[in-house]
Amino acid sequence: MKRGWIIGALAAVSVLGIAAPFAYGAWNPFAAAYVQGVDVSRHQGPIDWNALARSDARFAYIKATEGGDYVDPRFATNWSGAGRAGLYVGAYHFFTLCRSGAQQAANFIRTVPRVDGALPPAVDLEHMGPCQRGPTMSDIHGEVVIFLDTLEAHYGVRPILYTTREFHDAHLADFPRERFWIRSLYAPPTFRRDDWVIWQHHHSARRPGVSEPIDLNAFRGDENDLAEFARTNEPTT
């Protein structure tokens, strides 16, 4: 009886020893083969970007805007800090169903500089509604296309689409040629398997230089591929 208890306890310790790095975000065997990065917003508070860059982070996506008029109050600080620390830097927009694609694109363009060598813009598509003020947009597909086309014309590169399984299945099945950033915690994405370029594999990890939990991402490629991904084309407008 005592021996059985000991064996059970050792097995539990072993499982915890494997699970703890997953929960903490220190190690993920599925993501380890890829280049690692983070995404941040005001929720992470002040960030020591040099300390974060000395960990395994090689790129950072930073929240810039949301909807038609919101600007993340830490965007400018995070954008410059990540760049000075030597990370590849990109900006993302949280797309709501409450303002037109043109209005949301204008908000992003007013906020995010056009910089050679930046990562492609990203649009966060997960808001399922409803809207607190005003109606929900009737043509989600069309408004997303307007947003993507407007940013592509301005920045010279097609934005990537961050999404969840729920939003994708509801609204993005008819986007056959886009590049995706997939949220799939811990395990590799089970949809858009041939189309994802970034995989968000953790949403509450701990990293040096950041006092609050942080999202972890894996870029599908090596350092050379990441450098190519960050090569901005000439804008058409």
Residues annotated catalytic, as ranges? 39, 126
- For residue 170, CA distances in Å to 138, 160, 232 come to 13, 18, 31
Using only C-alpha atoms, what is the Rg of the chain?
19
Picking from 96, 95, 102, 98, the residue whose alpha carbon sits closest to that of residue 133 is 98
Neighbouring residues of 166: CB distance < 8 A, sequence distance ≥ 6: 126, 128
**One-letter-per-residue 3-state SS of 20-41:** HHHHHCCCCCCCCCCEEEEEEC
Return the amino acid letter for 211.
Answer: S
- What are residue 147's phi and psi, to 5 degrees? -60, -50
129 three-class SS: coil
H-type alpha helices, the chain: 2-24, 49-53, 75-84, 101-111, 140-155, 165-167, 223-229
CA angle, 223 then 160 then 144, to 5°: 175
d(C-alpha 190, C-alpha 187), whole Å: 8
